Amino acid sequence: MLAGLTSRARARTLRLALGSKARAGSLRGAPASLTLAWRGAGWEKWAYAAILAVALGTRLWDLGGRSLHYDEILHAWYAWRFAEGLGYSHTPVTHGPFLFHAAAATFALVGSSDVTARLLPALFGTALVGLPYFLRKELGRYGALAAAVLLTVSPSMLYFSRFIRNDIFMAVWALSLLIVMWRYMERPRTALLIAWVVLWALAFTTKESSYLIAGSFGLFLLGAAAPPLWRWARGRARLSDMTPAGDLLIVLGTLSLPLLVPAAGLLQRFVGITLVNPDGNDPRIASGEIVRAAAETG
């Protein structure tokens, strides 16, 4: 058959024949490779399911077996008052409003008790154990599993997962922010940028330690985005030319700017303009509280 063909036609016919054989071989091998990959993924998912089940059990077991700690009493009491319609007034002594709104919602849904007061931290502590799953690319499959196991058996993580305070919420926000940062730098998507904003909003309304976390993330992103930022500062690039790290840094900086407003109080004595409350002698301010709008002053 090939004898009557030109050399070019014979070469083309030979390539087609070899390509058909290669495709047939790849198709025959595909089911086996897919089966092996699925088995591996299935084993990993079952491992995470088992770890999460153990984490949930250890965090819920006898959750109301001990009386509330002093800090827990403050948080549970103000949250209960809020759930009962008695209002909520922010005070830095008990940190951000997220805990009180979330705990009040829990009380409204399932009732108030020592168990339900600690229910949300227990669920957040369980969720924290599952977050290393999304860092498998950075930690490796077994490294991420090891991290999940360590978070499960960590005495500190277990303690604060059974404690109605802000710490376990901040741990979830911080690790989630790390995951979103890596994923966005790997492949920028609008949904991840929105998640970045939402997580920072939750962190800022949870506890003041979020400022330290923001500083840590900001320094890393500043280093990662330094070259395009330097070109932009010299007028050789536009903000639209920023790298993904630059995108995240700009958003974080924009969200953080309102939090710097109290620093304006450092200047008011020099410019003669009252920018923040100047009364540092009020005992409620000296103890770290903000004067409530409904309170008597004088």
Q: Where are the domains of the chain?
A: 41-165, 166-289
Per-residue pLDDT, 263: 73
State the average pLDDT over residues 140-145.
95
Model confidence over 55-113: pLDDT tens digits? 999 999 999 989 999 999 999 999 999 999 999 888 877 899 999 999 999 999 999 99
User: What's the token pair of residue 149?
Assistant: 């196991």
Instruction: Write down the pTM of the prediction.
Output: 0.77
pLDDT (tens digit, 9 = 90+) per residue, 214-235? Answer: 999 999 999 998 888 888 877 7
Q: Vertex 227, ends 221 and 233: CA angle to 5°?
A: 100
Close Cβ partners of 207 (under 8 Å, ≥ 6 residues apart): 95, 96, 166, 167, 169, 170
Amino acid at 158: L
Quote the CA–CA distance of 246 and 156 in Å, as a whole number: 35
Average pLDDT over residues 5-11: 54
Average confidence score pLDDT of the chain: 83
* More confident site: 254 or 292: 254
